[in-house]
Chains A and B, each alone.
Chain A
Amino acid sequence: MIRTPLSTTSVLDEAAEVVSLTASPWAALLMATALPYRFLQALFIDQLIEVHDSASSYGNLLGATANVIVITIVIALAGRAIYARACRLAAARGTAPGREAWRIRPAALACYILTASVTMLVGYVSLFTIVGYPIAVIFAGLAVGTVEMNERVSVTRPFAHIFRHAKTVAIPVALTMVFFCALFVALANLAAAASLATWLASAIGGFDAPNWQVLFSPGNRRYVLLLFAGALMIVEPFWIAANVIYVRKAGAEESGDDLRAWFDELRSDELRSDELRSDELRSDELRAGEELKEVPA
Chain B
Amino acid sequence: MKCTKMLCQECATQWDGIWHCASCLGTARGATVERSPVFAWIGVVGLSLLFLYLGARVMVWTGAMIAGLF
Do these two chains interact? yes
Tell whether, in the assembled complex, residue A114 and residue B68 are in contact, meaning their CB atoms are under 8 Å apart: no
Separation of A144 and B48 alpha carbons in the complex (Å) = 15
The residue from A51, A110, A117, A124 contacting B62, defined by CB atoms under 8 A apart: A124
A:20-79 near B, CB below 8 Å: 44-45, 48-49, 51-53, 55-56, 59, 62-63, 66-67, 69-70, 73-74
Residues of chain B lying within 8 A (CB to CB) of residue A196 = none
Separation of A73 and B52 alpha carbons in the complex (Å) = 9
Indicate if A281 sits at the interface (CB-CB under 8 A): no
Residues of chain A lying within 8 A (CB to CB) of residue B67 = 48-49, 51-53, 55
Main secondary structure of the interface of B (DSSP, over half): helix
Q: Flag A143-174 by CB within 8 Å of B: 1 or 0 each.
A: 00000000011110000000000000000000
Tell whether, in the assembled complex, residue B36 and residue A152 are in contact, meaning their CB atoms are under 8 Å apart: yes
The residue from B60, B65, B70 contacting A66, defined by CB atoms under 8 A apart: B60
Name the residue on A nearest B38 (C-beta). Answer: A153
Tell whether, in the assembled complex, residue B62 and residue A128 are in contact, meaning their CB atoms are under 8 Å apart: yes
The residue from A51, A53, A110, A114 contacting B51, defined by CB atoms under 8 A apart: A114
A:164-215 near B, CB below 8 Å: none
Residues of chain A lying within 8 A (CB to CB) of residue B62 = 124-125, 127-128
**With A127-B62, A155-B43: A118-B34 Cβ-Cβ less than 8 Å:** no
Q: Flag B1-45 by CB within 8 Å of A: 1 or 0 each.
A: 000000000000000000000000000000000101100110111
Indicate if A87 sits at the interface (CB-CB under 8 A): no
Separation of A127 and B63 alpha carbons in the complex (Å) = 10
Q: How many residues of A contact B (CB 8 A)?
A: 35
Indicate if A121 sits at the interface (CB-CB under 8 A): yes
Residues of chain A lying within 8 A (CB to CB) of residue B44 = 110-111, 114, 153-155
Residues of chain B lying within 8 A (CB to CB) of residue A48 = 63-64, 66-67
Q: How many residues of B contact A (CB 8 A)?
A: 28
Tell whether, in the assembled complex, residue B45 and residue A69 are in contact, meaning their CB atoms are under 8 Å apart: no
**With A55-B63, A114-B44, A127-B62: A107-B55 Cβ-Cβ less than 8 Å:** no
Tell whether, in the assembled complex, residue A110 and residue B41 are in contact, meaning their CB atoms are under 8 Å apart: yes
The residue from A49, A67, A110, A125 contacting B45, defined by CB atoms under 8 A apart: A110
Residues of chain A lying within 8 A (CB to CB) of residue B34 = 152
Name the residue on B nearest A41 (C-beta). Answer: B59
Tell whether, in the assembled complex, residue A66 and residue B51 are in contact, meaning their CB atoms are under 8 Å apart: no
Tell whether, in the assembled complex, residue B58 and residue A125 are in contact, meaning their CB atoms are under 8 Å apart: yes
Separation of A121 and B40 alpha carbons in the complex (Å) = 21
Q: Shortest CB–CB separation between residue B62 and chain A, in angstroms?
A: 5
Separation of A51 and B44 alpha carbons in the complex (Å) = 36
Residues of chain A lying within 8 A (CB to CB) of residue B59 = 44, 66, 69, 124
Tell whether, in the assembled complex, residue A152 and residue B55 are in contact, meaning their CB atoms are under 8 Å apart: no
**With A113-B48, A114-B47: A154-B40 Cβ-Cβ less than 8 Å:** yes
Q: Given contacts A66-B57, A73-B52, A110-B48, could you give 8 more A-B pairs where the C-beta distance is less than 8 Å? A: A44-B59, A59-B60, A62-B60, A63-B57, A66-B60, A120-B55, A152-B40, A155-B44
19 pairs from A and B in contact (CB 8 Å cutoff): A44-B59, A52-B67, A55-B67, A56-B64, A56-B68, A63-B57, A66-B56, A66-B57, A66-B63, A69-B59, A110-B41, A113-B52, A117-B47, A117-B48, A117-B51, A118-B51, A121-B58, A124-B62, A153-B41
